[in-house]
A and B are shown apart, each in its own frame.
Chain A
Amino acid sequence: MAHHEVAAYLRDIRLFQAFSDADRAALALVLRERTVRKGQVVIKEGDPGEEMFLVRDGALVVSKVVTAPVEQVIARMGPGDFFGEMSLFDRAPRSATIQADTTGDAELLVLDRSNLEALIEANPRAAASFFHALVQVFIERLRNSTDLVAEVTRWGLEATGLDVDGR
């Protein structure tokens, strides 16, 4: 994919919507393309993380191990979404496993830690808008997680027939 196509794609990504065209063009130069076959794992829970990913095409499933071989699906990703950024900031192991859905391949763009840090250092204004968008996405994900906790709790109560308000 040509760099200008990547730059045009970045315009639709929330993290980079406030970037100038020049900033997006500069970013497009450092992004790598990666194709993931259907069902293939992109990042694995517990592994170290040095990259974040932007979903250009396809669908991905985010899951967390419950008990081998069963994992709980905690989110789904589609075009315009991004993932893997958490480990870039806190340097902790990957918190979940992300794999391409079994329905088809996925096209990703990869941004590694060194390029992200270089971007932040070289362009404080772009960095500020990047982090602002990031916080908004985190808030959205936190809300979704809270809803998921409530749903899982309700599931547990219904599945066990537990009468919590009984005497």
Chain B
Amino acid sequence: MSEVVPRRAKLELLVRRPAADGEDAEAASFELKEVGSALAFVRLRPQRVAAETYELAAVASRVSGQTNFILKNRQTDRFLLLSEPEKFLWEQMDGHTSLQDLATAYVLRYGEFDFDVIPALIRKLQRAQLLVLTPASALRRALARSRAKRLAKMLESSLTILERINVSSRHVDSFFHRLYRFGGFVLFTPVAAAACALLAVGGIVGGVRLWHNAESVAAGFGEHPVLAIIAVKLLFLFTVAAHQLVHGLSLVHYGRRVREFGFTFLHGIVPTFYVDVTDVFMTSRRARVVTAVSGTLVHLVLGSLWFMVAAGMPPGFMQAFSAASGMIQWQAFVIALYPFCFIEMDGYHVLVDTLGVPTLKSDAMGYVGTLVRGRAPMPATREEWLWVGYVLLSTVSIAGFIAFNIWLVAHAS
């Protein structure tokens, strides 16, 4: 059965014109015009927001060799990734050029007739409130998943409730600036880097010594190793706040704004603190890498301290607790920096920034999904191989991580 295409809306307008010389002023001085919405659309003259309202930064991909662009609305902090043709179209949106003219310019420039790029870009820009005529906000789409199964419905409701838990503030920039001024700046000095390296070495030494006595260390938990590990995890949660604080300090260090800091349940499951570091996209790659890595170093430092403390302690509960805390901190350090785990954490952001492929995960998942279903050809380009490699490495890494933790718990028991 063919799909019914809805009729385009039409407006009927009456346009008056002044009476000509000798013409009866009362009569026949108007013209009726029917204007279809499609005609109005191609005559739309989109106008980008004022220059001081947005920022545009280039991102060069080392994989595809292409350059993309990040467009930021400075007032709403919305970011868009634009291709080179989209950037070209964006630059034409001066309020004088109609969409029809834009399409002509697009053909002349790129020799392509794929005009869908224009309305798609208009929608993207409207959502990001980067066009002057954009209404204040878009309506959010209602949750449209099937709720036929009771258990699924309950689970969904629970996750929704947890997702809504968000304790945050958007007025934290001044706090981070004070924190930076009153000592935070030290973290971004060579002395701090050297101290971090020394602590890491100390942590490795301590960790190796503990490893040699792993069984006696684990035995320190006594009768309730699982409860002890849960306590370690709860304590770890608070160090995530420190991780995010350092991200924020790094932002201040590079002269950018911290837009938000808060606590929420990631995907409705994982309790976590977070900081909005999106402003760092408008700075240099070095700044982005430092911002990403600096937060994770908190776990390296804390893990090293815990290992050194545990190594210097006599066997018992406190040594086991310290060693487990050191272990979880180092795990967090590795997970945060390791990019191949399907989680878009700091290491992932460094990777995609370095490669210049900001949508690596979603592209990879999309491609491999269609590949598995037999709807995509075998990988041929560098990008396709990158996507396959990302999914494979991540799958193997996750499996390895789960196996390692099972082995740890089994040995602790």
Write the residues of chain A forming the contact surface with B, with a CB cutoff of 8 angstroms.
37-41, 61, 63, 66, 68-73, 99, 102, 151-152, 154-167
Contacts and interface: CB of A to CB of B under 8 A. Distances in A.
A79 B141 CA distance: 47
Contacts of B16: 68-71
B133 A160 contact: yes
Closest 3 CB pairs of A and B: A39-B28, A158-B37, A159-B40
Contacts of B119: 161
B8 A166 contact: no
Contacts of B126: 160-163
Output the residue of A68, A157, A158 with the most chain B CB within 10 A: A158
A66 B13 contact: yes
B43 to A, nearest CB: 9
Contact of A73 (B13, B28, B133): B13
B141 to A, nearest CB: 5
Interface string B119-144: 10011001100000111001111000
B253 to A, nearest CB: 32
Nearest to A103: B32
B12 interface: yes
A102 B141 contact: no
Output the residue of A66, A159, A162 with the most chain B CB within 10 A: A159
Given A70-B15, A166-B123, 14 more contacts: A37-B27, A38-B28, A39-B27, A61-B32, A69-B17, A102-B28, A155-B37, A157-B37, A158-B9, A159-B41, A159-B44, A160-B126, A163-B138, A167-B141
B141 A166 contact: yes
Contacts of B169: none
B38 A72 contact: no
Interface residues of B, number: 35
A160 B28 CA distance: 32
A26 B38 CA distance: 53
A151 B11 CA distance: 8
Nearest to B122: A161
Output the residue of B10, B14, B30, B32 with the most chain A CB within 10 A: B14
Contacts of A159: 37, 40-41, 44
B29 interface: yes
Nearest to B16: A69
A61 B9 CA distance: 20
A154 B32 contact: no
A154 B32 CA distance: 21
A41 B11 contact: no
Contacts of B127: 163, 166-167
B32 A73 contact: yes
Nearest to B99: A161
B314 to A, nearest CB: 56
A164 B138 CA distance: 5
Contacts of A99: 30
9 contacts: A68-B16, A70-B16, A72-B13, A72-B14, A73-B14, A158-B37, A160-B126, A163-B126, A165-B139
B21 interface: no
A69 to B, nearest CB: 4
Interface in B1-53: 8-17, 24, 26-32, 37-38, 40-41, 44
Contacts of A152: 9, 11
A73 B31 CA distance: 11
Given A159-B37, A166-B123, A63 B14 contact: yes
A30 to B, nearest CB: 26
B10 A155 contact: yes
Contacts of A167: 127, 138, 140-141
Contacts of B141: 165-167
B14 A70 contact: yes
Contacts of B44: 159-161
Nearest to B12: A73
A155 B9 contact: yes
Contacts of A71: 13-16
Contact of A163 (B38, B40, B41, B123): B123
A158 B16 CA distance: 26
A71 B30 CA distance: 10
Nearest to A73: B12
A149 B31 CA distance: 23
A61 B133 CA distance: 31
Given A39-B27, A161-B122, A167-B138, A72 B12 contact: yes
Output the residue of A40, A160, A166, A167 with the most chain B CB within 10 A: A160
A159 B38 CA distance: 6
Given A39-B28, A41-B26, A99-B30, A161 B123 contact: yes
Contact of A155 (B11, B26, B28, B123): B11
Nearest to A64: B14
Contacts of B17: 69
